[in-house]
């Protein structure tokens, strides 16, 4: 689960990680009140969406007067922000964060993420703040300092020294401040079951202080049960409504661009099915894992979600019945077609335990738009043909 | 021969009396797995599925001499359960549970390593040595005995792959579902040498997916050390960037972890890479009839 910048910064503040003062607003009036409360003569109006690249997309703007804060808030609130991470459809901005302007000397990058090879968290830092870390990694990997921290010993002084010397921070006072910053960030990472923390930029002010100007956090969904405070920060308007509906019914769904809807048990086989459709010349319309317990209700829900996509011209149901027997799944599919109006051809491949009985059931049901398939390849080919209208 | 487990392996089940534990233990016993007991706190002294129940793994190990544990406890307790197994001297823990917090698995695996215990999973179908020992939730009947070893991140692709190997006229020595979480136990790097050294295994099927770089490491290892033919499929060639495809670990971030780069690395290592899982059986036939 991801959270907004303003929420991440509230967590930072509770751990003493220095950030500029700021107040979230949902209307231009609130934005004005926020700016007045913050005081000063420079503010930043920042669109709150769960995607990076806001600055370039026009979602982060400087204001030099209260009137300008109001103008910018009015402009940004309700706008559809398109960045390289939102996709071409963009994201509607519902909230802005009004922050005091900071006095930037230079910009760093600081992040904590799981190093899957070392199986422990790694702190990543770079002097190339403001740039996308993936780009820095590709173009100038020597500019990234990586320090893996064994959580059983926690963040030690030497971790901090590796960071500051790696970044070329030479002033002793600044070294102490940066190390303190990084150690607190690591503590947040461990305490809150964080998947990713990213601060880009982390700035050094002219006074030699370090401040988190930006904050991105994502959490391990499997651990949210023990962090009710974080779970509460969920913003469902940021989620794809179809993906959310699917998840509420125990299905895992991701929309794609193609024409053939897929309903599969298991994430790996679901990806393998998409790949096979592609292999035989078709285009998958979605990833959909119905999980281990494919029954009439889950299959019906799956049909419903797939068919919301008007591009879908055929559906490929690919189930490898393991512990769940194919004959029961076949009955589930028949039942589901009664619950949902399925107006496109459905190719069904059921393999595994009791596959023969399942084929018999589907055949005897004699439903026009249900096309049985014998294996994965046969099913994918039939689905592609059906989508073209070559098969009824 | 086979790898890791066989008909003599003494197994206990943690989370033995729960709904999942009961259902799957029953199936495993029916398959022939030598389950010698189970662990459920506060149910010690009872008998379940005809086997003794213990309060702690230590009690179970003392009484039965079990060396392997199959774990079905709920996600919030799985880290604790794995560490308990390691502490009691279990040699291999097969963790079926889905949805364990990554942090818990991180600590659990570190402790397991320290204690010399291997792990498989979590979030996996388990391990099966065909017609001898089934430890997990896979349908046993599709795994006919034969000469192909199988390693897979995905559950249903394990079944798909094994089924095709059997349809092609071959069979399985041992199949291991390693799981698709960010932190997993035994993986390609540890399992490939086991299959390489197993006299009965003549070919290896390796099924991977997008995310992480385990397959890239495997490719390097294969190039230098594996003499047996390897067939590979990487799921997620058509997956979009930055989207999690079901498994917690199955995500392409930045330019890393794509199916393409993994397929290229494996091909360069001399592996027979197929673009669709539907071609696994055919590819196995091809490499074995050379
Ligand atoms: N409080 C602030 N004071 C002064 N300048 C700021 C402040 N906040 C942001 N900026 C400037 O705006 C730039 C963009 O801000 P920020 O990093 O938060 O958004 P972004 O990186 O464009 O978007 P995203 O984080 O979504 O990729 C910063 O690099 C910094 O130069
Ligand atoms: Mg930024």
Q: Is the ipTM of this complex over 0.95?
A: no
In this structure, are A231 and A95 located in the same domain? no
Give the residue range(s) of CATH 3.40.50.261 domains in chain B: 138-288
CATH code at position A247? 3.40.50.261
Those residues whose C-beta lies under 8 Å from the C-beta of residue B216, and which sit 6 or more positions away, are B261, B262, B265
Parent domain of A228 = 1-19+103-238
Q: What percent of chain B has pLDDT over 70?
A: 96
In this structure, are A326 and A210 located in the same domain? no
* CA–CA dist B200, B205 (Å, integer): 14
Token pair in block for residue B37: 């007991």
Domain boundary pick from A45, A71, A101: A101
- pTM, two decimals, is 0.91
* CA–CA dist A78, A226 (Å, integer): 34
The pick from A38, A58, A214, A238 for probing ligand 1's pocket by mutation, whose C-beta has the most ligand atoms within 8 angstroms, reads A214
All residues of chain A having their beta carbon less than 8 Å from the beta carbon of residue B253 are 134
In this structure, are A322 and A175 located in the same domain? no
Looking at domain B11-120, its CATH superfamily turns out to be NAD(P)-binding Rossmann-like Domain (3.40.50.720)
Burial of A45 (0-12, 13-18, 19+ CB in 10 A): buried
Q: What is the pLDDT of residue A13?
A: 97
pLDDT digits (tens, 9 = 90+) for A118-146: 999 999 999 999 878 878 888 888 899 99
Alpha-carbon separation of residue A112 from A120, A200, B21 (angstroms): 10, 12, 37
Q: What is the pLDDT of residue A392?
A: 58
Nearest-CB residue to A268 (from B102, B142, B209): B209
Q: What is the pLDDT of residue A65?
A: 97
- What number does the ligand 1 atom closest to the CA of A130 have? 29
Residue A261, pLDDT > 80, answer yes
* CA–CA dist B97, A213 (Å, integer): 40
In this structure, are A181 and A212 located in the same domain? yes
DSSP B247: S
* CA–CA dist A280, A286 (Å, integer): 16
Residues with CB under 6 A from ligand 1: A 20, 44, 46, 52-55, 60, 99, 101-102, 130, 200-201, 213-214
- What number does the ligand 1 atom closest to the CA of A20 have? 1
Q: What is the pLDDT of residue A159?
A: 98
Residue B254, pLDDT > 60, answer no
pLDDT-based confidence at residue A289 (cuts at 50, 70, 90): very high
Give the residue range(s) of CATH 3.40.50.720 domains in chain B: 11-120
Average pLDDT over residues A70-92: 92
Looking at domain B138-288, its CATH superfamily turns out to be Succinyl-CoA synthetase domains (3.40.50.261)
CATH code at position A45? 3.30.1490.20
Average pLDDT over residues B8-27: 95
Residue A148 sits at the chain B interface (C-beta within 8 Å): no
* CA–CA dist B117, A321 (Å, integer): 32
DSSP B240: P
In this structure, are A49 and A183 located in the same domain? no
Instruction: Give the total number of structural domains in chain A.
Output: 3
DSSP A96: E
Instruction: Give the mutation candidate from A135, A186, A222, A242 for the B interface (greatest B CB count, under 10 A).
Output: A222
In this structure, are A147 and A225 located in the same domain? yes
Closest CA to A167 of A129, A119, A222: A129
Q: Look over chain B and give the mean of its residue pLDDT values, rounded to a whole number.
A: 94
Q: Look over chain A and give the mean of its residue pLDDT values, rounded to a whole number.
A: 92
Average pLDDT over residues A283-302: 86
Domain boundary pick from A54, A69, A101: A101
pLDDT digits (tens, 9 = 90+) for A15-29: 999 999 999 999 999
Residue B49 sits at the chain A interface (C-beta within 8 Å): no
In this structure, are A54 and A13 located in the same domain? no
Closest CA to B155 of B182, B128, B173: B128
Q: What is the pLDDT of residue A295?
A: 78
User: What are the DSSP calls for B58-106, one per residue?
Assistant: HHHHHHH---EEEE---GGGHHHHHHHHHHTT-SEEEE--S---HHHHH
Residue A207 sits at the chain B interface (C-beta within 8 Å): no
The protein residue whose alpha carbon is closest to atom 26 in ligand 1 is A52
Contact criterion met (CB < 8 Å) for A193 and B248:
no
Nearest-CA distance from A291 to chain B in Å?
Answer: 9
CB B172 within 8 A of CB B145: yes
Nearest-CA distance from B213 to chain A in Å?
Answer: 8
pLDDT digits (tens, 9 = 90+) for A215-250: 999 999 999 999 999 999 999 999 888 889 998 888
Between B290 and B197, residue with greater pLDDT: B197
Q: What is the pLDDT of residue A171?
A: 97
Residue B7, pLDDT > 80, answer yes
Active site residues of A: 109, 198
All residues of chain B having their beta carbon less than 8 Å from the beta carbon of residue A267 are 154, 180, 209, 245-247, 250
């Amino acid at each position: 689960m991801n959270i907004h910048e303003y929420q991440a910064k509230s967590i930072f503040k509770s751990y003493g990680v220095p950030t500029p003062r700021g107040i979230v607003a949902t209307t231009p009036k609130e934005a004005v009140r926020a700016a007045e409360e913050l005081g000063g003569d420079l503010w930043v109006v920042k669109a709150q969406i769960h995607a990076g690249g806001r600055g370039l997309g026009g979602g982060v703007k400087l204001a030099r007067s209260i009137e300008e804060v109001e103008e910018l808030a009015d402009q940004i609130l309700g706008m559809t922000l398109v960045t390289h991470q939102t996709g071409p459809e963009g994201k509607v901005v519902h909230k802005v964060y009004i922050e005091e302007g900071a006095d930037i000397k230079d910009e760093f990058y600081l992040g904590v993420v799981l190093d899957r090879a070392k199986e422990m968290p790694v702190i990543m830092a770079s002097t190339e703040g403001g740039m996308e870390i993936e780009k820095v990694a590709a173009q100038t990997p020597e500019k990234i300092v990586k320090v893996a921290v064994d959580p059983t010993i926690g963040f030690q002084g030497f971790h901090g020294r590796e960071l500051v010397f790696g970044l070329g921070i030479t002033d002793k006072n600044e070294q102490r401040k940066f190390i303190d910053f990084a150690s607190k960030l690591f503590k947040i990472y461990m305490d809150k079951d964080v998947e990713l923390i990213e601060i880009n930029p982390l700035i050094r002010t002219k006074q030699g202080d370090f401040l988190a100007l930006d904050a991105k956090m994502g959490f391990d969904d499997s651990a949210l049960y023990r962090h009710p405070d974080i779970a509460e920060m969920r913003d469902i308007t940021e989620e794809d409504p179809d993906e959310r509906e699917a998840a509420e019914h125990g299905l895992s769904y991701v929309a794609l661009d193609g024409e053939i809807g897929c309903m599969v048990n298991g994430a790996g086989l679901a990806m393998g099915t998409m790949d096979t459709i592609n292999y035989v010349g078709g285009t998958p319309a979605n990833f959909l894992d119905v999980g281990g317990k494919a029954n009439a209700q889950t299959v019906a829900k799956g049909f419903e979600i797939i068919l919301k996509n008007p591009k879908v011209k055929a559906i490929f149901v690919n189930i490898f019945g393991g512990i769940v027997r194919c004959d029961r799944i076949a009955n589930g599919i028949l039942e589901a077609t009664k619950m949902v109006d399925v107006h496109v051809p459905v190719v069904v491949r059921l393999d595994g335990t009791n596959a023969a009985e399942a084929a018999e059931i589907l055949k005897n049901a004699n439903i026009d738009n249900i096309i049985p398939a014998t294996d994965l390849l046969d099913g994918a080919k039939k689905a592609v043909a059906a989508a073209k209208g070559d098969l009824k | 021969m086979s790898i890791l487990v066989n008909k003599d392996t003494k197994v206990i089940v943690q989370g033995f009396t729960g709904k999942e534990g009961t259902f799957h233990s029953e199936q495993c016993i029916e398959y022939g797995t030598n389950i010698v007991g189970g662990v459920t706190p506060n149910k010690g002294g009872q008998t379940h599925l005809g086997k003794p129940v213990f309060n702690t793994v230590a009690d179970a190990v003392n009484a039965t001499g079990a060396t392997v544990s199959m774990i079905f406890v709920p996600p919030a307790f799985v880290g604790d359960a794995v560490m308990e197994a390691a502490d009691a001297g279990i040699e291999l823990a097969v963790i079926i549970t889905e949805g364990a917090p990554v942090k818990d698995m991180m600590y659990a695996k570190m402790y397991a390593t320290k204690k010399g215990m291997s792990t498989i999973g979590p979030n996996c179908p388990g391990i099966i040595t065909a017609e001898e020992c089934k430890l997990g939730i896979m349908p046993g009947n599709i795994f006919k005995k034969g000469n192909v070893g199988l390693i897979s991140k995905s559950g249903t692709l394990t079944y798909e792959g094994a089924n095709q190997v059997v349809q092609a006229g071959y069979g399985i020595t041992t199949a291991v579902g390693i799981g698709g979480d960010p932190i997993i136990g035994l993986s390609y790097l540890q399992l490939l040498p086991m299959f390489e050294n197993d006299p009965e295994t003549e070919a290896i099927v390796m099924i991977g997916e997008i995310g992480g770089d385990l397959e890239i490491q495997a490719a390097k290892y294969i190039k230098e050390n594996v003499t047996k033919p390897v067939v590979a499929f990487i799921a997620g060639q058509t997956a979009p960037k930055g989207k999690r495809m079901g498994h917690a670990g199955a995500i392409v971030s930045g330019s890393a972890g794509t199916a393409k780069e993994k397929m290229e690395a494996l091909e360069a290592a001399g592996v027979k890479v197929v673009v669709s899982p539907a071609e696994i059986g055919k590819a196995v036939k091809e490499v074995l009839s050379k």
